[in-house]
Structure 1
Amino acid sequence: MADQQEFETIRHPQEVAQLLDCLSGPQGAGLVWENSAGTPAPVVLVELLPGESITLDITAAGDLGRRLKQGQPFRLMGYCEGMITRTSVLEASQGEVVTALSATAQAAEAARPRGSGVPPRQLWRCPYPETLERLQRRRSFRARLRLGMAAEAILHDSDGQRFSGDLIDLSIDGCRLDLPHTAAALLGNGGAAVPLELGFPDGSRLTLKACVQHHRFDPERRLVEAGFHFTAVRAHQERTLWQLVREIERESARIAEGVDSRRPPSALFQPSQGRRGPRLGRREAETYPTDMTRRLSRIAGYLHAQALELAQGGCIHGPRLSRQTDQLLALYDEDRNGLIFALRFLTRESWPVRHGLSVAILLVDLLADSLPAELRKSITASAMIHDLGKVLLPAPLRLTPTFGDAERSRLIQHVGWLKERLSHCAWINASVFEAVACQINERLDGSGYPLGIQDADLRELARASAVVDAIDAMRAQRPDRPPWRIAAIYRYLLDHPEKFDSVWVKRFIQRFGLYPIGALVRFSDNSLGWILALDDQSRPACVQRTTGKPPSQVPRAPLDGARVEGEALAALGAIQGEVIIGA
């Protein structure tokens, strides 16, 4: 066991939960006895109940159960993000043999293959650790890019093709990247070294050879996360890597200190004097259906980085949220129709990001006629971040489309966690934040969460927010169902006046129509078209035609069909219905 001084103690509950979630992944964890040498015994973390307990599958570890019953203290350990991670000392005397799991864990258990020769599972429940420890060896230490720190990595294959990604962290030995899913074939090249180019906002660039160590597809964000090991690093390249790692650490420390930090910003992350700075990362290298979608993706990139910051124990950064809210509203004021249309095509972003942006714009648009500037900004910002607290939940719970009472009681925690993480956000109207971010999931009959607030106690803004939130959620594809047609959504909400305020449902219908901007529709001449704009009666007024069969998923390439309106639109005939396609 390494010397205690080499370990950093992790105390924040959400960061502890994230690291334990990592240990419950495919690489698994090991159990080591305190003050005893020996190889870690393989165990699987099958259930995590934050603040309460961990349930271990000890089936593969022989007589581990006997020693646990004897009360010997132990630790759990494994690798997370390239670093050894271990729990504080756990007392086996406080543990117990168990046979029952929660509904979520039972669902995972049901999917486990059964057959002859498969022994019954042995489960042990032990106390949940208050802290974790991570080994910090300088050479293998990974400097993580935090909110506001952008850098890109470009992979080159033997055919000259480029794959642009985002740099997540960097060490002397390697790095971790987010890459487009199209890079998956290159990552499966058997471990051969490929050229990897790193780029920073000040124009600094470094090219090395790197071998992929591991990669996984992230279905929520529709990209590949990959770890690389640098090979054949020359002396001058290693010196440059040291400089980059130190500069990333220094800038990360400045950001962690917040607005009161006296450290000057790192030059590495600032464009050179008089330059706008290069456009870096996978979002800038991707193709988009419209230019507005590309511009909106940059704000989505900020929200994604903010979500990662929360997952690592950070806070909502008030000044950056303010700037990004201003940018989003500037896009809205510049081209309202184009921005609402662009929301349809953010399919590369995680659900909390694209849902937050959609609710923000649709809610502001629904209320647009009577909003003072400061109030409009508070509403937009609150809606943008209202779902980001979900990144603090364990992945199985976050991605489960249906859940029981036990899972629901854990799910609702994300609202309080988000509220606790606001930093320097005094410019957000507290009453607005409460209505939009905290009461958006409440229902008139008290069946919502987190507090079960009923009709008379629900604010008007919360009622409007709940309608917008529900409609956008039902319009989205989920693992267990396709998207709903807008007509079916309207019918459902109007049929449940005990849950949703019918006044706001009707206002939404009047504002966005039976075929909203972004809908794909079929005309009586059998042609297809995307709704680009509505008239004063919320009827389609401009359409971008598309040829061929309906797409199987929302397009990512530029739309090139002809735009039709007026008499040309009338010539297409009546709209026969909405065409539903997946994300």
Structure 2
Amino acid sequence: MRTQVVDAPRIEINDGDRVASAFEAMQERPYCDLRLECVATGERFDIQEFRIEAAGQRIRLMIDVLGLARDRFAAGVRLHASLGTEALLFSGIAVEQFSIEADPPELIIAKPERVYVSNKRESTRVRLVRGMRALVQLQVHENQEPIDARLMDLSLGGCGIEIELRSGMLLTSGQQVAALLIEFPNGTRASMAAVVRHVQMAERNAYAYVGFAFATSGGIRQTEVPALLREMEREIAFRAGQGRNHMIQPSRLFIGGAESPVAVRLDQQEKALYASTTSMVGPLRQIAHTLGAAAIALRHGRELPIDELEKCADTLCALLAEDRPAFLYALCCLTEQPALLHHCIVVAGRLADLVQTEETLVRNLRDIVLAALVHDLGNIRQAGPQTAASDSLITDPSAPTNSHVELNKALGSAGSWAASGARRAVIEGLNSTDAADAANLPVALAALARAARIVDLIEVKTRGGIGAHEAGTPLEVFRSLYHSCDEADREWLQRYMKRQGIYPIGSLVHCSSGFLAWVLRLGDDGQPARIRVVRSTDSSRRLNQILGRADFAQIGKIDEPALPQRFGLKPF
């Protein structure tokens, strides 16, 4: 039986002058914890600054958002604030304008019609500050293992957590989870029944922020949670320096130090060292962030952030034009991202590289790249309750689904018939088992569909773990596809091999002296000209030495490709 979420009692004030006075009072209090809530989705966003204009009839909000659709707030917004001992909720707000191009983005709203006032203890969140850490074990379904997450904030009515995006993007608003357990460094635990309120991208790379509402279950909300809130506020006051007079002692909740089981678990979750050896990885991570927002939007049946996706396509094309070798290598360095998002970015980047010399295709390069960036995101929409975070959600080329049908609808039409056709050719080309399907398209679009299919097949087969596809080296995959595809597909395969070489940038190679190295750059002859030596097969010690051809004699001859999965290596 589903449990019911109960909100804290509030007093309604709908007198215009009193509502205006409440807002003016906040302007005098710089620390009022003002946040914006999207009525349609339940998402909440920090407000960096606000200004009251037009004699109090209009309010300009500077908000911290990224990758939102222009009409995200069309259904209305609410404002949450903390003022002294009271929590305020402003509603009845008309949205006048949303300027996503501004820096930071600006939302202009009319004066709220009413404000609800409640006791601060009932509804205001206590955010964990730097150095305060608590573990959340989230069990989404009873037959699945709990997932580790980090507690970000807590209130009597719910909490916010930061969880790996591969898990967070599968959650949906209104979904009741099997269990939510909060554990503090000193071993104190609290287990609550909870319902997902909203899901959005977190600031941290490859993570999602998920807001939960506690469901009514016994007296935990009335006993344990208030006690936890008091202890958290004590710790915040102590860390802010108010404990210098010895009147305020640190909270017992956070005693345990770096050796506590909670700290160890959180360290394991956060220990990933993200690749930073090329400046192009940063912009690609921003693209992954927008794709994560798009995946969450699809999961919740919301509109895609088309404007932001188009900017991502432009960015990807610009990076390719700026420095092709660095770009192709950076594509391989996003291993911390969910496999689905990484796959889409790699396919988009390599497809752009393959077709950029085709005059009939390059004029629609932005739409080709945009379609490739989202081509498998429809699988998020169709993911069932048994889908695990470890599932890649990448379409198996030998067993496609019809997820692209909803994706095409979500994308809508492009600016022209040719651009719309390019999007359709890529998405349908990557979701078809029959190469002959491409023959039903106009000549140029048929060629594009085949090119996209070849790029996708190569990425799936070298990645491995998708359907029955075991990971293979690029050379093994090239040979397999050459003998299995038809003549038209084989032509695109040969073009791909000519551009990428048998030792593509970002692939692992084995040297005759036993060293393993990543290919960073190819010479005019298509052979590696610059490599990063990372390990010797005779030792587990990691290396990081970049060599040009003049120095290859130090490590012997490059004699064969190697499988990264076999050695547990990832490019960086």
TM-score (norm 1): 0.52
In the TM superposition, residue 335 of structure 1 has moved relative to its aligned partner by 2.4
The one-letter code matched in structure 1 to 2:428 is: C
Q: Does 1:307 align with 2:295?
A: yes
Contact 2:284–2:316 (CA<8 Å) still a contact in 1? yes
Matches for 1:223-302 after TM superposition, within 5 Å: 231=226, 232-233=228-229, 287-291=274-278, 292-302=280-290
Return closer, same or farther for 1:157/1:542 CA change in 2, 3 Å cut-off: same
Greater alpha carbon shift after TM alignment, 391-400 vs 163-172: 163-172
CA shift at 1:494, angstroms? 0.7
Aligned residues of 2:288 and 2:337 also touching (Cα < 8 A): yes
Contact kept, 8 Å, 2:380 with 2:393, in 1: the verdict is no
- Please identify, of 349-358 and 570-579, the stretch whose mean Cα deviation from structure 2 is larger: 570-579
Q: Which deviations, in whole Å up to 9, do the C-alpha atoms of 1:269-317 show, x marking residues without a partner?
A: xxxxxxxxxxxxx999953252432331121111011100110001222
Q: Secondary structure at the match of 1:467?
A: helix
Change (3 A) 1:379 1:400: closer
Deviations 1:213-251 (A, max 9, x none): 599xxxxx99798777765447x98xxxxxxxxxxxxxx
What corresponds to 2:381 in structure 1?
Answer: 392
From 440, 452, 455, the counterpart of 1:465: 452
Other structure's SS at 1:369 match: coil
Are 1:521 and 1:530, in contact at CA under 8 Å, matched by a contact in 2?
yes
How far apart are residue 577 of structure 1 and its match? 1.7
- Structure 2 match to 1:319: 307
Tell me, yes or no, if the aligned pair for 2:482 and 2:490 is still in contact at 8 Å.
Answer: yes
What does residue 43 of structure 2 align with? 144
**2:564 is the alignment partner of 1:581:** yes
Which among 461, 486, 497 is matched to residue 509 of structure 1? 497
3-state DSSP of counterpart to 1:316: coil
Normalised by the size of structure 2, how large is the TM-score? 0.53
Whether 1:358 aligns to 2:257 is no
The residue that corresponds to 2:523 in the other structure is: 535
Provide the C-alpha distance between the structure 2 equivalents of 1:336 and 1:83, rounded to a whole number of angstroms: 55
The aligned counterpart of 1:18 is: none
Q: Does 1:432 align with 2:422?
A: yes
What is the rounded CA distance, in whole Å, between the counterparts of 1:402 and 1:153 in structure 2?
Answer: 36
Residues 118-138 of structure 1: per-residue CA shift (max 9 Å, x gap): xxxxxxxxxxxxxxxxxxxx9
Amino acid aligned to 2:351: L
- Specify the alignment match of 2:431 in structure 1: 441
Partner residue, 1:418: 407
Q: Which residue of 2 aligns with 1:135?
A: none
Instruction: State the AA in 1 paired with 2:461.
Output: M
Q: How far off its partner does 1:536 sit?
A: 1.6
1:92-107 equivalent positions in 2, closer than 5 A: none
Match for 1:459: what amino acid?
A
Deviation at 1:457, TM superposition (A): 10
Equivalence for 1:175: 160
Distance in structure 2 (CA, Å) of the matches to 1:145 and 1:547: 46
User: For residues 412 and 154 of structure 2, what CA distance do their matches in structure 1 show?
Assistant: 24
Distance in 2 separating the partners of 1:283 and 1:499: 48
Q: What's the CA shift string for 1:69-118, capped at 9, x where partnerless?
A: xxxxxxxxx369x799xxxxxxxxxxxxxxxxxxxxxxxxxxxxxxxxxx
Q: Secondary structure at the match of 1:569?
A: helix
CA contact (8 A) 1:524 1:572 kept: yes
Give the Å deviation of 1:521. Answer: 1.0
Task: State whether residues 291 and 341 of structure 2, in contact with CA within 8 Å, keep that contact through their aligned partners in structure 1.
Answer: yes
Unaligned runs of 5+ in 2: 8-36, 46-64, 69-126, 136-147, 167-178, 195-204, 215-224, 234-268
**TM-superposition CA deviations, 1:335-377 (whole Å, max 9, x none):** 2212211222222222331111111110111122245865221
CA-CA distance at 1:158 after TM superposition: 7.0
Aligned to 1:565: 548
Q: Is the 8 A contact 1:390 1:414 kept in 2?
A: yes
Distance in 1 between the 2:156 and 2:539 partners?
Answer: 42
Amino acid across the alignment from 2:66: G
Q: SS in structure 1 opposite 2:519?
A: strand
Structure 1, unaligned stretches of length 5 or more? 1-39, 41-77, 85-137, 182-187, 196-208, 216-220, 238-281
Measure the CA separation in 2 of the matches of 1:170 and 1:349: 30
Q: Distance in 1 between matches of 2:152 and 2:414?
A: 28
The alpha-carbon deviation at position 475 of structure 1 amounts to 1.2
CA distance in 2, matches of 1:311, 1:189: 22
Structure 2 vs 1, CA of residues 414 and 190 (structure 1 numbering), >3 Å: closer, same or farther?
closer
Distance 1:233 1:373, change over 3 A: farther
Q: Distance in 2 between matches of 1:315 and 1:189?
A: 30
Alpha-carbon offset, residue 326 of structure 1:
1.9
Given the superposition, is the C-alpha separation of residues 403 and 520 from structure 1 closer, same or farther in structure 2, using an over 3 Å criterion?
A: closer
Distance 2:552 2:432 in 1: 41
Q: Quick one: distance in 2 between partners of 1:532 and 1:575?
A: 14
Q: Return the letter of the residue paired with 2:368.
A: I
Equivalent pair of 2:521/2:529 in contact (CA under 8 Å) = yes
Number of aligned residues: 369
Aligned counterparts, 1:159-238, within 5 A: 172-179=157-164, 191-193=182-184, 231=226, 232-233=228-229
Matched ranges for 1:125-144 at <5 A: 143-144=42-43
The answer to whether the 8 A contact 1:293-1:343 is kept is yes
Q: 1:455 to 1:502 in 2, by over 3 A?
A: farther
Tell me the distance in 2 between the aligned counterparts of 1:356 and 1:497: 22
Which residue of structure 1 aligns with residue 463 of structure 2? 476
Pair 1:401–1:285, CA change in 2 (3 A): closer
Aligned counterparts of 1:545 and 1:575: Cα–Cα separation in 2: 12
3-state SS of paired residue (2:484): coil
Contact 1:165–1:179 (Cα < 8 Å) also in 2 = no
Secondary structure of the residue aligned to 1:345 is: coil
> After alignment, is 335-344 or 527-536 more displaced?
335-344
Whether the 8 Å CA contact 1:164–1:285 is kept in 2: the answer is no
Query: What is the letter of the counterpart of residue 437 of structure 1?
Result: I
Structure 1 counterpart SS, 2:430: coil
SS of match in other structure, 1:340: helix
Secondary structure at the counterpart of residue 357 of structure 1: helix
What residue identity is the alignment partner of 2:475? A
Residue 549 of structure 1 deviates from its aligned partner by 4.1
The residue identity in structure 2 corresponding to 1:143 is G
State the shift of 1:568 in Å.
Answer: 0.6
Q: Give the letter aligned to residue 423 of structure 2.
A: F
Displacement of 1:143 in angstroms is 3.1
CA deviation string 1:26-83 (max 9, x = no partner)? xxxxxxxxxxxxxx4xxxxxxxxxxxxxxxxxxxxxxxxxxxxxxxxxxxxx369x79
